[in-house]
Amino acid sequence: MNSYDEIKNQWDKRNVPPTPEKGVEEIIKKFAVILKKQRISQMVLGCTILILIGFFFYISAYSHIQLLLGLSVMIVSLLIRVLIEYGTTIKKAKLPLGSSMAAYNTKLIAYYSARRRIHYYITPILFVSYVLGFVWLLPLFRQNMSSGMYSYILWSSIFIFAVLAVLIGVQIKRELSVLKKLKQ
């Protein structure tokens, strides 16, 4: 196989899987499953917001300034992060796949550049705010909990924050690699 014509000849002789008979039905069914999953995600997100607000009032967080501040900062940071993720996921799904390769690449570059700005500026601020909110609550935990429980909450939270930081870092690194590849 030396020349391009031979490669082309070889290409034309490849075995190609036949058109699946139930392909259309499978696609329609899969699409329905995707829609259902989207609705479930929206419901979970809505319920999370309601539960957080409910919890806020349940423990009368508004009556204690330190509790109010700490919990509000944590809840708001978390909500902003979740809403940003949700919004950008929808934005990516709406990118026009039917555009030419070059046009789609340009849109993807714009999308990942926006994500990079989020990762560089908003994510660290939100992460630090979340941790600060937790730190604000620590004196209250110490006053109202046994020392064993307090130590458990403190160390398990440090561990969770560390794992979270690593996971966010991995995700950011992956997205930056995609952006780099798109720009090549």
Partner 1 sequence: MNKKKDFTAIFKTNYPKVIRLCLGYTEGREDLAKDLAQEVFLKVWQSLESFRGDASIGTWIYRITVNVCLQEVRRREVTHLKLDIAADQIISSNEKEQQFTAMYRCIDRLSPENKTIILLELESVPQSEIAEITGISHQAVRTRIHRIKEQLSKCVRNE
Residues that bind partner 1 in the complex, under the rule CB under 8 A: 1-4, 7-8, 10-11, 14, 16-17, 19-20, 23-24, 26-28, 30-31, 34, 96-104, 174, 177-178, 181-182, 184
Which residue type does 113 have? Answer: S
Reading the block at residue 130, the tokens are 């979340």
Residue 170 Cβ, how far from partner 1 at the closest point, in Å? 11
Closest to partner 1 by CB, 22 or 57: 22
**Contact indicator for 140, 66 with CB cutoff of 8 Å:** yes
Closest to partner 1 by CB, 4 or 58: 4
DSSP 33-76: HHHHHHHHHHHHHHHHHHHHHHHHHHTTGGGSHHHHHHHHHHHH
Closest to partner 1 by CB, 8 or 117: 8
Closest to partner 1 by CB, 47 or 170: 170
Residue 17 Cβ, how far from partner 1 at the closest point, in Å? 5
**Radius of gyration (Cα) for the chain, nearest Å?**
25
Residue 118 Cβ, how far from partner 1 at the closest point, in Å? 18
Alpha-carbon span 57 to 108, nearest angstrom: 42
Closest to partner 1 by CB, 108 or 138: 108
Residue 107 Cβ, how far from partner 1 at the closest point, in Å? 10
Alpha-helix runs per DSSP H in 59-146: 65-93, 101-117, 123-144
Using a 10 angstrom Cβ sphere, with 0-12 exposed, 13-18 middle and 19 or more buried, the burial of residue 182 is: middle
Residue 90 Cβ, how far from partner 1 at the closest point, in Å? 13
